[in-house]
Structure 1
Amino acid sequence: MPDNTPASQPYALENPFLESLNVTIVEWQPDLVRMSMMPQAAHVNNTGVVQGGILATLLDAAGGYAGLFPENGVRRAATTISLNVNYVASAQVEPLLVVGRRVGGGRRVFFSNAEVTDSQGRLIATAQAAFRRKDPA
């Protein structure tokens, strides 16, 4: 049965790790995803800012989901084959928005850019990534 849910409707992550971080999909459409996360105390390092690994996870997830919008109701999967992260500013414990955009690729490999911003729209981190699509089961 086709998935006729509008892009503005919430989508299930179907990813236990991202769910454990309380990441949510705000918008999802072909070649674009917007996700949000409210960091918790457990997500900060010893200087009181959000751990870089959390930011890298958000960037990786957004880059991947950007190239995996369900087609005809079928969810797809991919493996990250390259992830380059650039940290621009420290992230405080406040809502974070991550946007991923598929910027190219072919049938098996696709490329994405992603960026994390804070609740004031300040750029926190960017990434460029490559992903290999997995064959449907």
Structure 2
Amino acid sequence: MSHEEPDLMNGTDLPGFHSLLGYSQASWEENEAVIELELQARHLNLGGVIHGGVLTSLLDIAMAQAGTHCPYPGRMRKAITLSLTTTFTGQCSSGVIRVTGRKRAGGTRIFNSTGEVHDDQGNLLAIAEGTFRIRSGSDKPEGVPI
């Protein structure tokens, strides 16, 4: 039985909570990450619109990714969230949302990112800012094995 590497770029083999959310990676490069999510009933709150926890989780992921791009196949870089502030600016209940995280500043271990979520009509649903710490072993571009 052969062992294949997880395909994180195409949204397959996402671990744990990431798999539960069910997003896909639209793009990921140095200082910017974009993920997309096709809304399903499981992503909605009791009012029938996207749950704020889903928006916040997606922002957290994209903003951390913005500071942890790894250009080496089969390897990745990791960060932990130190602080995260989300402001909700709109609602939607269907379609595909797009989450963009951008690294804005940082040193060798700590970095700051901002993020935005838009619906498929271009409406702004949420904005965020966060501070992240690079995990041990992830401070170099080659990161750690997946």
- TM interval, shorter chain, is 0.7 to 0.9
Q: CA deviation at 1:39?
A: 1.7
- Report percent identity of matched pairs: 32
Structure 1 runs (4+) greater than 3 angstroms displaced:
9-15, 71-74
C-alpha distance in 1 between matches for 2:22 and 2:11? 13
Post-superposition CA distance 1:67-112 (Å, at most 9, x none): 1101444311110000000000112222100000000010000100
Determine the structure 2 residue equivalent to 1:5: none
Change (3 A) 1:13 1:106: farther
Structure 2 residue identity aligned to 1:70 = C
Native 8 Å contact 2:89 2:124 kept in 1: yes
Helix, strand or coil for the counterpart of 1:135? coil
TM-score between both structures, scaled by the size of structure 2 = 0.82
| TM-score normalised by structure 1 residue count | 0.87
Kept in 2: contact 1:59–1:116 (CA 8 A): yes
Q: Secondary structure at the match of 1:100?
A: strand
Partner of 1:133: 134
Pairing of 1:1-137 with structure 2 (within 5 A):
10=10, 14-73=14-73, 74-136=75-137
Which ranges in structure 1 are unaligned for 5 or more consecutive residues? 1-8
Q: Give aligned pairs, total.
A: 129
Superposed CA deviations along residues 15-70 of structure 1, whole A, max 9, x for unmatched, are 32112211111111000011000121121111110110000001101100111101
Whole-Å separation in 2 of the counterparts to 1:59 and 1:117: 11
Listed as ranges, the gaps of 5+ residues in structure 2 are: 1-8, 138-143
